[in-house]
Copies of this chain bind each other. A is one copy, B any other.
Amino acid sequence: MAVVLGHNQYGKAENRVVRVFRDSDPHEIVDYNVSVALWGGQEAPHLTGDNAPVLPTDTQKNTVYAFAKEDDVVAQPESFGIRLARHFVDETEPITHARVRIEMYPWTRLGNPHAFTRDGRFVRTATVTYDGSTTWVVSGVEDLWILKTTDSEFADFLEDRFTTLAPTHDRLMATSLRAQWWHTGEDVDWGKSHDRVVQTVLETYGNHHSLAHQQTLFDCGAAVLEEQPEIAEFRVTAPNKHHFVYDLARFGIENAGEVFHADDRPYGLQELTVRRDDAPAPGLAFDPGQGW
């Protein structure tokens, strides 16, 4: 047998770029964390240490900051990612694939044209993958916390010898959502589209009468796909942030779902995909992370 090189990728991760638009009045800013991964034609450095095909990650860093100067491109994480991914593949022999992942930290303007405060409601994300012909654009959101004080049930579930949970028809439900959605086209107002998805998810989650967390999450994805035809697939990871009713009866105090302990670990975790039945396969759209 011989030992061979399998899939490999490399790049500069977590370039923290802040871009100020001074021509606009008031000033605008975008705050990004940009990670680049490239692959294609990289056998030599792995097998012999020959760096001829290696575009140094330091050069990738310079490129990220250089392209951040291009106003239209940098204004939205999706367009910035598209610009960078295509550059690295189209301009760099022998690179065949690029994936650019961007985290965006929203800021809110204060009462003057050049001061801002960080809006910590969520982190916006964009992942763009390009193989020399196809460009996959995935938008997303992370750390989006939602809590419902009622309208959530969990009952009539499977039981086995290890079942001790009591069914409930009224519980507090909370999560910190991580979602990603794949756009089949690029003719999109990225900012507007993102705002609308977040709004749809919040409204659906908040208004849904939930028999199962899975049902609530599926409905969030379904609502997004029904409203925005340019979105073909929606993936969500949602921890069930458990809030346990604290036993106050021991002290002669009634606790009718008023006082809760917010527990850390363990936590339920639901992960699911919602897609159009006529959508093409997502191909390389979604970053497989460590699993490749």
Contact = CB atoms under 8 A, between A and B. Distances in A.
A196 to B, nearest CB: 15
A264 B262 contact: no
**Chain multiplicity (copies):** 4
Interface string A127-166: 0000000000000000111111111011111111111110
Contacts of A155: 51
A52 B158 contact: yes
A205 B115 CA distance: 8
Contacts of A273: 5-8, 292
Given A269-B10, A277-B1, A114 B149 contact: yes
Given A16-B261, A116-B146, A239-B13, A5 B66 contact: no
Contacts of A203: 110-111
Interface string A57-71: 111011101101100
A118 B91 contact: no
A173 to B, nearest CB: 10
A266 interface: yes
Interface centre among A8, A14, A91 (most CB of B within 10 A): A8
Given A13-B239, A120-B120, A120-B143, A165 B58 contact: yes
B253 A66 contact: yes
Could you say which of A50, A143, A207, A261 has the most chain B C-beta atoms within 10 Å of its C-beta? A261
B18 A260 contact: yes
B211 A251 contact: no
Contacts of A164: 58-59, 62, 250
Interface in A67-100: 68-69, 91-92
Contacts of A13: 239, 265-269
A-B interface, 7 closest residue pairs, ranked by CB to CB distance from nearest: A120-B120, A49-B211, A289-B289, A115-B206, A6-B273, A288-B291, A118-B145
15 contacts: A3-B274, A13-B265, A13-B266, A13-B267, A16-B261, A49-B210, A51-B212, A59-B164, A69-B259, A112-B206, A112-B207, A114-B206, A116-B147, A116-B148, A120-B120
